[in-house]
Chains A and B, each alone.
Chain A
Amino acid sequence: MQIIYSDLLCIGAGLAGERVAVEAAKAGFNVTCLSIVPPRRSHSSAAQGGMQAALGNAIMGDGDCPDIHFADTVKGSDWGCDQEVARIFADTAPIVMREVAHWGVPWNRVEAGVHTYYKGGKPFDAEEKRDKHGLIHARAFGGTAKWRTCYTADGTGRSVLNTLDSMCLRYEVGIHDRTQAEALIHDGENCLGAIVRCLKTGELKAYLATATLIATGGYGRIYRATTNAVICDGGGQIAALDTGLVPMGNMEAIQFHPTGTVPTDILVTEGCRGDGGTLLDVNEYRFMPDYEPEKAELASRDVVSRRMQEHIRKGLGVKSPYGDHLWLDIRHLGEKHITTKLREVYDICTNFLGVNPIHDLIPVRPTQHYSMGGIRTNKDGAAYGLKGLFSAGESACWDMHGFNRLGGNSLAETVVAGRYVGKKIVEFLQGHTVDFKQSAINDAHTKVAARIMEMTKSSSKQESAIQLRDEMHSTMMDNVGIFRNGKDLQAAVDKLDELIDRSKSIKLQGTAIGFNPEISLALRIPGMLKLAQCTAYGALMRTESRGAHTREDFPERNDKEWLNRTLAYWKDGETRPELKYEETTPYFEIPPGERGYGGGKIIAADIPEEKLQVPGKGTDKKKAKQTKKAS
């Protein structure tokens, strides 16, 4: 078996993986990035909208600062985030945006003078300041007090990824594309790298590294209707969970995006609504202001998705062969705006739907979009349970998003966390050596090789990976969607128990020498079922509604009992995850309160006085008083 050594192994080469790689390579370390696809095809490239950072250059972002960004993020998370992490994020985001600008990102810039913008579909004029001319501009996104989302037309992910990939080229980061990490190599204490399958030849190789980063994005593919790319199958989370040592955080926190298109589930950006697009029902009536008078279409994603589903349930959706949907209307933005600032949207509508958004309404419905949960790390990005293992970006539960993330915050997280965690990894590499134990390498290799051998050769097995995937999809769509309840979740958990059991008997249908795409799916399905079970079981046990997790049978946000984070461990040989809980945040800079949108009752917590202090900043008496009043 070929063995490849690096100081840092990045599993995943999207925005987070490449940003970490650049940081370590700049510090002189030898870095290898693994990627299922060439890095520029990573799902980061599909992010259209933008990155939130409180630069405050745009007139509609005038007076913005990290404090306001932090407050929006905490509210957006429904107080489910780690406030120390959210603070690090909000404070560093502006610096990171400028840094990538220095490296080549062509951010859209402020143009001094009067411009016509839209809010809630209505035009208004605003004058951009002369002294801000040429600085990074921002657009509106949901759940924010200020216009704060930095963007490059509607290809932000593309342009930032191109820039980071060019930096990887410049700093000679080793890119090994068409590779899939199948298992982590570890000795029970230290992570030592990964057993990797080459997707060109099918060969298994060992990649050894002093530090290993998982940055493989989300696990949206456990749902059938998802905006996620085909490769977002949770490979990184599965490798971590399979160690039995590393827990997943808040797997039940799944975000549905309000505007997935019908029937292809391709996302159209929140920028549509940010720029003034509206949501209409079967009667072409704009319904969101009735539910959310203040924020309307620009309430946070969980709220808009829920209101849309609620409206469809009232029978006011548009009937179609692919199920009920609603309309997104951007016609009033005009041809110029749609074909420049929203060009990807225009392309998607014309190429995939046969709809021209300049003249026609776009069919949309809430679609699985983002995993707030993932590999639980501390604020340095270090995974719980194994030394030398890190995670950043969507694959991680770092946890600045809690139970709902704001649009533009996750794309920003990739590079902000990438930079921050990258620096922590550099510190780790500078002070750390590790022994690569032959037995650990062999153990990991044997496990993967044995699985492939069994599904190829064994005559007693007969389950089809495709069939199991389809049944998982139906279960997750029907029972673990936007609105959840105990009965449905229990049914999902029971069904997933069965599927997990059956997944031990997967047999390949066809044979091929070298690389066989069927093996990729067959190797992934048992792990995806485990992630699905962590999601369903975590959702069943969490008897409250918070952010994107909405229980019809427990509609209150229960801070008294559930102001915590779910940790799901999966011990070898077990059929279900073991759930543990930890405190949401080490302290509350902003004590739990009303979000100001979404409605819903809150069962207040009794938070001890010392938890309301920011360490090093002393007591914030005013805030402490507010909480008492609220409770």
Chain B
Amino acid sequence: MSRRLHIEVFRYNPLDPNSEPHMQSFYVNEYDSMTLFIALNLIRDEQDPTVQFDFCCRAGICGSCGMVINGRPGLACHTQTKDLPDHIVLHPLPVFKLIGDLSVDTGTWFRDAGARIEAWVHNDHDDFDASAEEVRMENDLANDIFELDRCIECGCCVSACGTARMREDFLGATSIARIARFYLDPRDERNEENYYQVIGNDQGVFGCMGLLGCEDVCPKHIPLQDQLGIMRRMLAIHSVKGILPKRVLDKLKHKGCCHESH
């Protein structure tokens, strides 16, 4: 027996002086394999063409459709209605600037974060020799780098972050994992001091309160917790390296996960 879903959607148009933030109820008949992508588009096609929400790939790969689903940040496109109760409440992601209804401006936030941490491989990009063989790399290392390149910048981790809710300039777990990606990459010529400059502060790794909501909600299951730990350890050691004996430093100095044996 198919259910009749009660979907409550947050409505607010910041550009309309008469608009007040409020919840609006819609009702949709559920059918097999229904996702929130399908349900929201039905609402827009059949009930209210002005509802704002974002979808792009609708396959969980692009990160457009992050929203708060029954109180928890997640991707609407890969949320199946059968996994939810028949009353579904949808809010826009907090922290990001609201564009309207369920749509928020993640693009500006992530570009700003990228610029602050200088999120590119620091080497001489013009020094590319078209006739030379590529610089060799171990396949395992390539896989480790790709593991962190899988972030789709949906913003769920930032929305679930206690620190980000309190301080606007916090870079969030996503940016720290992004820096960790370059730290792993031998093509990036930055040293520990350079990394310290960009994330060795309260806006970066030392702002994290360790609540780890980020890891709980990451739809791509990126090991955000490990990366926070690795980067924090690296920067903490860096800041006391004049004090600790070299023997201890050498023992602590590796780039991988702290659970691995080295």
Contacts and interface: CB of A to CB of B under 8 A. Distances in A.
Contacts of B61: 45-46, 158, 344
B150 A104 contact: no
A230 B40 CA distance: 14
B238 interface: no
B32 interface: yes
Interface stretch (B121-129, B163-171, B208-216, B227-235): B121-129
A43 B149 contact: no
Contact of B63 (A41, A344, A513): A41
Nearest to A109: B139
A517 interface: yes
Contacts of A231: 56
A517 B44 contact: yes
Interface in B111-147: 111, 114-115, 118-121, 123, 125-126, 128, 130, 132-139, 141-143, 145-146
A162 to B, nearest CB: 5
A513 B100 CA distance: 11
Interface residues of A, number: 74
A65 interface: no
A352 interface: yes
Nearest to A352: B78
A354 interface: yes
B16 interface: yes
Interface residues of B, number: 67
Contacts of A510: 48-50
B146 A229 contact: no
Contacts of B50: 510-512, 516-518
Contacts of B90: none
A283 interface: no
Interface in A316-359: 321, 340, 344, 347-348, 351-354
A169 B115 CA distance: 7
B146 A351 contact: no
Interface string B59-79: 111111000000000000010
Contact of B121 (A46, A98, A166): A166
A201 interface: yes
Contacts of B137: 106-107, 109, 134
Nearest to B106: A38
Contacts of A42: 62
A264 B33 contact: yes
Interface string A147-191: 000001101001100110011011000010110000000000000
A102 interface: yes
Contact of B138 (A134, A353, A508): A134
Contacts of A293: none
B15 A37 contact: no
A512 B12 CA distance: 11
B55 interface: yes
Nearest to A202: B15
A310 to B, nearest CB: 27
Interface of B: 13-16, 19, 32-33, 35, 44-45, 48-52, 54-64, 78, 80, 99-100, 105-108, 110-111, 114-115, 118-121, 123, 125-126, 128, 130, 132-139, 141-143, 145-146, 149-150, 152-153, 185, 187-188
Given A163-B121, A200-B99, 12 more contacts: A37-B62, A42-B62, A101-B134, A102-B134, A104-B121, A137-B139, A155-B150, A169-B114, A178-B99, A514-B16, A515-B99, A517-B44
